[in-house]
Amino acid sequence: MEHLKRLGRGFTPKLAMDFASLMEKQARPVYKSIGIIFPVITSSTVNVIAQNQSASLLDVARALDIPHQLAAQRIKKLLKLNIISTHKDIEDKRKTNYQLTELGKTQNDLLNLYLSKADKVFSDLNEEIDVDFMVLLQQVNESFTARSLFQRIISE
């Protein structure tokens, strides 16, 4: 950490990645303790499919704002674990949709239990650090979407 402090705020993104990695690592044993069998990183994919009842690979990628390939990797893992199943789109036979299996629905219920507990944890964190961390992250993302790092550095 001292090394990063000497280098300045240019390594802020590394700290954000470190935080994301730490949260994923710390969530794993929580998931295991409540019976969630899918990887932490696939949680948002499960959530998107559950919310929409059925979703294509493109739907998942767009909803999560992730590359198609990354969405495909997550879908593949969930299929392997029997969390989701496939079915052909009624209107477009070339399109494959995904839906939760019975196991997936049970797992999604456990995910929602986790999320309600995590919501409380992060609410308490907001009070602890006197910052609404989720709002702050949203503002940072919106700011860099509106004006990229490239634009900011070039204009300096």
Q: With contact defined as beta carbons under 8 Å apart, do 106 and 113 qualify?
A: no
Write the pLDDT tens digit of every residue in 33-53.
999 999 999 999 999 999 999
pLDDT of residue 90: 76
Residue 11 has pLDDT above 90, yes or no: no
Decide: helix, strand or coil at residue 130: coil
What is the identity of the amino acid at 14?
K
How are beta strands 84-88 and 96-100 bridged, if at all?
Answer: antiparallel
Write the pLDDT tens digit of every residue in 65-111.
999 999 999 999 999 999 999 998 777 777 899 999 999 999 999 99
Q: Which of 16, 17, 42 is nearest to 28 (CA)?
A: 42
* Domains along the sequence of the chain with CATH: 2-116 (1.10.10.10)
